Amino acid sequence: MEAGKIAEERTAAGPIRRRPTAPNAATPKDSDMAQIEIRDLRIEYKKPKSEETFVAVDGVSLDVAQGEFITIVGSSGCGKSTLLLTIAGLVPAASGAISINGTAVAGPGPDRAMVFQDASLLPWRSILGNVRFGLEMQRWKKGDLTERALSYIRMVGLGNFADYHPHQLSGGMRQRVNIARALAVDPDVLLMDEPFGALDAQTREVMGGELLRIWERDKKTALFVTHDIDEAVFLADRVVVMGRNPGHIKEIVTVDLARPRTEAMLDGDRFSEYRRRLRASLADDMAQMQLVTEAA
């Protein structure tokens, strides 16, 4: 589908109305507070060397409240990254709608910031330069850019490394810089696509704890993709389980654990129960995947 057609359909969709009967409708406790509204979203890609389209995501509806922490799990290729990219405005929707604070998403905007798995830092810039870069790109006007960048670098625990360059940092430190860069622009919504995916298990756990500590401060609305079930439960208010062919929401699990979350919770009965439930939900999908592969 060409870009012009997509834009036209988007406009034609008009304001998003709440549809209580929307498929997969999933609403936070107070639906009037929803900051992100996703309605019957369908995302298509053009197949390589072909005129055909591939439906990556279909029928996704989700409401996310301001300050909610949502994690997204699902087998590889089920459309998790695609969903985030579309919310970021980097991949267009084929149909359906996404709105943030009541405004339809029509492209990238300063209300959203994304953190990718691979540290997407500029190698020739210092850490300070990288965090400043995010502000420069958005033509940030408020106050001193350097001071603001430094305050976020300190917040992620890298105050002594502002003058270092990315290659002089560990993977975990680089991801902290990415998070600082995303938060510095003060987005309403933080989109994170397996940000700790390349880190070892121990660093990953530390980073999860730190992310929550930062998040508790100003409660940014967060959408966080992970393939780690413990991480998904530990971070989330709700875990969205996605299924495949095409990507859809299979189940949403509300995590009823107190905040702040503590390491001790990982050993608790309730945590085990969530872990079991998510494993079962995902195993089901993996089995299906295997059948398809065997049949092919």
d(CA 195, CA 185): 18
Do the Cβ atoms of 90 and 170 come closer than 8 Å? no
d(CA 70, CA 91): 20
Which one of residues 71, 81, 130, 226 is an interface residue with ligand ADP (CB under 6 A)?
Answer: 81
Segment lying near ligand ADP (by CB under 6 A), choices 60-68, 72-80, 123-131, 283-291: 72-80
d(CA 27, CA 66): 12
- Cβ atoms within 10 A of the Cβ of 227, count? 15
Which one of residues 28, 74, 134, 208 is an interface residue with ligand ADP (CB under 6 A)?
Answer: 74
Which residue lies nearer to ligand ADP by CB, 57 or 189? 57
Which helix H or strand E contains 63, and what residues bound it? strand 53-65
Nearest distance, CB of residue 89 and Mg ion, angstroms:
17
Site membership for ligand ADP, residue 281 (CB under 6 A): no
Which residue lies nearer to ligand ADP by CB, 137 or 291? 291
Do the Cβ atoms of 256 and 269 come closer than 8 Å? no
Size of the site for ligand ADP (CB under 6 A): 11
d(CA 215, CA 68): 10
Which one of residues 24, 33, 45, 277 is an interface residue with ligand ADP (CB under 6 A)?
Answer: 45
Which residue lies nearer to ligand ADP by CB, 20 or 48? 48
One-letter amino acid identity for 245?
N
Both tokens assigned to 165 = 């360059």
Nearest distance, CB of residue 23 and Mg ion, angstroms:
23
Question: What is the per-residue binding string for Mg ion in 67-106, x denoting contact by CB under 5 A?
Answer: --------------x-------------------------
Site membership for ligand ADP, residue 243 (CB under 6 A): no
Do the Cβ atoms of 158 and 123 come closer than 8 Å? no
Question: Could you list the residues that contact ligand ADP (CB under 6 A)?
Answer: 45, 54, 56, 74, 76-82
Question: Could you list the residues that contact Mg ion (CB under 5 A)?
Answer: 81
